[in-house]
Chain A
Amino acid sequence: MPVSAQQTAPTDIWSTLARAVLLGFLLCLGILVIYPLLWMALSGFKTNSQIFNAPFDLPTGFSWANYVAAWNQGVRSFLVSSIVVTASSAACTVLISAWTAYGLTRTRMPAKPIITAFILGGMMLSPTVALIPLVRMMQSIGLYNTHWALIILYTAFRIPFTTFLIRAYMLELPSDLDEAARMDGASDRQIFWRIMLPLCRPIIVSSVILHVLFAWNEYLFAMIFTSDLDVQTLPVGLTSLMAKHGTNYAQVFAAMTISALPIVILFFLMQRYFIRGLTEGIGK
């Protein structure tokens, strides 16, 4: 588009040269981005001495020993925790946000601008600032060091943003359908479940993906609110593993690869939704 698509004479030597330089640049940058990740995955197949002596070499064989060892050293349990926390908090966040967005866009609620500002205002506040009181709160209600602490906090801190996304989408939807349903005697509840939620499917998918991306990778809360290995999620579990088996580099590399893989696969499977979600997330 802007740079060279408009060239009318592709035979022009300078344009060909410029194109080659640009492609070379993109390629080098691509290698710079991908190589470290590839190195991480390949190092998981090596032995420690291979990692030390020949960091650039390919592994001599693809033995899964390190991956299996990492899996049994705790990665399996971290993965289960991550899945439990991510899935539960995603479901809670998106449901609560969707019905909040419905209330903010489709009902005659009093003080709507104030309530909207109150809920969306939560986006601006850094979780760090709430941390000390939250730790005391979770300890006093007995949720400290449980999955519940993370599920509740991820839900609470993502409701403002997710509501913001879904609300923006609902505002764009024409009101004919739900008004017609209301004339036919449908209740708010029926309109929400049968009409609005299905209409909002695209933004719901984007919201779920963005939440998964957040919850899967979240570190600060996960580190502070969990202390036992069997409740730790992947990011925290990895640092525990590192502290315990830090000298066994190959095994740590294998564990890192296992925890990075699910989200990369998810990205490639749902690329279209991912990108739409990210762009919805900024700038409206």
Chain B
Amino acid sequence: METIRQTPDGAASCGAITDMQGPSPTRRLFDKLLSLRWVLLAVIIVSGFIYIPIVENFRVSMTNRDIFTGEVSNVGLTNYQRLLDDPVVWRALLNNTFYALISIFFQVFCAFVLAAIIEGLRNRRVRNFWRAVYFIPSAISTTVTGLLFYFIYQPDVGLMDAALTFLGLEQFSHPWLALESTAIFGIIAMSQWQGFGYSTLLFSIAIQKIPRELYDAATMDGAGPVRQLFSITFPMAREMSGLMIIVTITGAFQVFNEVMVMTSGGPSNSSQVLGTWFYEQAFILNDFGYGAAIAAIIFVVTMLTGIAQVWYTRKRRVQL
């Protein structure tokens, strides 16, 4: 601490007195500005690697590069017009939507019911055991699980068709990932297998926060387990469900890894999602302008769900 400082009226005073009066306004302003050093690095990194590139992406989306001369020209909104006429974009949007809807069913609704069942078990260790077992696939890389299911769906070695044969259901055997009609659903099924344990875990924790007295009172009133599920557990965990729906939609529109590993969007673009179609245009065909325009759709969707999430958690103050 300083021993002698100028006070605003110009008189010198000793440190003890300044401390009592607080530091001078200039000093205070200096301190305030100096405290920015704590966030400076984060602001620079986040601007440089997230915000600026995203703005730049929009600039790129308005350009085209001539394949022969390498010249870049401004083409305005041409790439966006091209999006509207591109059937694969619509197919990709549809697939992302399938992804979102099916995931909401399994990872919000089913996971919630499963969490309620697990939390209904008496033994704590047994509850922990089941939650951990179901969670394991979520810890593993989607590349590994994607490859694993690529093999499982293979007609020659795959477990899927072997299991169907074992059950006497040979007529349902398919080369799942090689058919236009089933490829995307094969991938989505893998995603559900991998992801439901994660949401079950989150719902379990939401259910644990519900006050015990509610259940005791309901039991006194003669409400059975199913009644309690619908009258207490369901409404009490509703906020968590709302949040999970938003998170699931965001995830569904950003999906890339599993589709890339299992089919790369094929056959005949039938399992293309926005992420893989973006990758193919930008990095396989080197059409950066059009790729950037596809990325812009991903931006809009994730931005909207992001805003919805902030709005929802603010409004309801979701607590776990």
Contact = CB atoms under 8 A, between A and B. Distances in A.
Contacts, number: 291
B313 A119 contact: no
Contact of A216 (B42, B141, B198, B292): B141
Interface in A116-173: 118-119, 122-126, 128-134, 137, 152-153, 155-157, 159-160, 163
Interface residues of B, number: 107
Contacts of B247: 282
Interface string B130-142: 1111111101111
Chief secondary structure at chain A's binding surface: helix
Interface stretch (B77-85, B89-97, B147-155, B171-179): B147-155
Contacts of B265: none
Contacts of B26: none
Contacts of A6: 215-216, 218-219, 225, 228
B318 A283 contact: yes
Nearest to A265: B139
Nearest to A263: B139
B38 A103 contact: yes
A278 interface: yes
Contacts of A236: 143
Contact of B46 (A29, A132, A156, A185): A156
A81 interface: no
A271 B133 CA distance: 11
Interface string B152-175: 100011110010001000000000
A30 B130 contact: yes
Report, nearest first, the 7 A-B pairs whose CB atoms are least far apart. A103-B38, A3-B120, A124-B306, A107-B35, A156-B49, A130-B53, A217-B141
16 contacts: A3-B225, A3-B228, A33-B193, A103-B37, A103-B39, A107-B35, A129-B302, A131-B53, A133-B60, A217-B142, A238-B144, A249-B157, A260-B141, A266-B139, A278-B201, A279-B205
